Amino acid sequence: MKQSPDQVISYYDSIATNYDESRFSNTYGAYVHQQEIGLLDKYVGKENAAHHVDLGCGTGRFLAYADTGVDPSQEMLKIAKAKHPDKILLCAKGNHTTLAQESYDKIYSLHVMMHLHQEEMLPILIEAHRLLKNKGLFLFDFPSKKRRNLIRYRPVNWHGATSYNLSEIKKISQEYFDVVESCGIIFFPIHRIPKQLRKYLLFLDGWLCRSWLKSYSSYIFVVLRKK
C-alpha cells in the first residue's frame, strides 16, 4: 500500500491538468474548500504573506496566503504559476526546501500529511522548524484516527491512507514544537448528504468541528509553535 515518493509525485503530475476541476468544482469540494479557507483566514491571514510558506502548494489553491509555494510536482506547479505568476514557486520535497533558515513566520501544509507515515512526517517537521523564526507557527491537517476507527474505515490504496490521534502528533513533534490549538475539518459525512442540502450544514459543521467532538471530524487541523 505504501508508495515511494517518486510514485506519489508521478501520480500528482498525471492529474495536475484536471485536479482543480475534478476535486473542487463540485458541491463536496466547495464544502471542504470553504472550511479550509475559513481556517486559513483565522490562523494564517493574508496580511503578511511575504513571511508565509505554502508547503505542498499543489495548483496554488491557497497561495493567496503566502508569497512562497513549495511542491515536488512540476506539473502541479505549472498550474499554480499560471494562476499566481507573481508568487515564488519552488519544486522541492517538504523535507528539503533549500529556503533560507529562520525566515518565515508561518508555514501551512494542507492535504500533505494524509499521505505520510511517521518516519516521513518527522523530516518535514524538522525542515519547518529550520525555516521558521522564533515562535513561528506550523499548521497542517491529518486524517482523524478516532473518526476512521468509528466508521471502520479501511484504505484501498496509499492515497490518504494514514491517520493519527492528536496525542500521536504531539509525540512526533514534541522535540521541535508545542501543539497550541486544534480543531476539526468536515464533521458530517457530507458525501452522503443530498447536494442541495450541503451548504446549509456548513455553519453547524464548523461549530461541531470546534466543539468537544472535534476529534471525530474527518480531519484534524493543528497549530504548532516552534520551540
Please write the tens of the pLDDT for every residue from 169-200: 999 999 999 999 999 999 999 999 999 999 99
Domain that holds residue 165: 5-226
Do you know the residue count of the chain? 227
pLDDT in tens, 117-139: 999 999 999 999 999 999 999 99
Q: How far apart are CA 134 and CA 201, in angstroms?
A: 39
pTM as predicted: 0.95
Q: Quote the pLDDT of residue 156.
A: 82
Residue 74's alpha-carbon distances to 15, 59, 80, 81, 156, in angstroms, are 12, 10, 10, 10, 26
Q: What is the mean pLDDT of residues 60-70?
A: 97
What's the confidence (pLDDT) of residue 71? 97
- Model confidence at 1, pLDDT cuts 50, 70, 90, reads low
At residue 139, φ and ψ (nearest 5 deg) are -120, 135
pLDDT 10s digits, 152-173: 998 888 888 899 999 999 999 9
Highest mean pLDDT: which range of 4-8, 20-24, 76-80 = 76-80
Query: In CATH, what number is assigned to the domain containing residue 30?
Result: 3.40.50.150
Contact 210, 183 (CB under 8 A): yes
- pLDDT tens for each residue of 214-225: 999 999 999 999
Instruction: Provide the domain count of the chain.
Output: 1
8 has pLDDT over 90: no
Residues 10-36 pLDDT 10s:
999 999 999 999 999 999 999 999 999
pLDDT value at residue 195: 93
pLDDT at residue 93 above 80? yes
Contacts of 36 (CB under 8 A, 6+ apart): 62, 110, 141, 185
pLDDT (tens digit per residue) in 29-61: 999 999 999 999 999 999 999 999 999 999 999
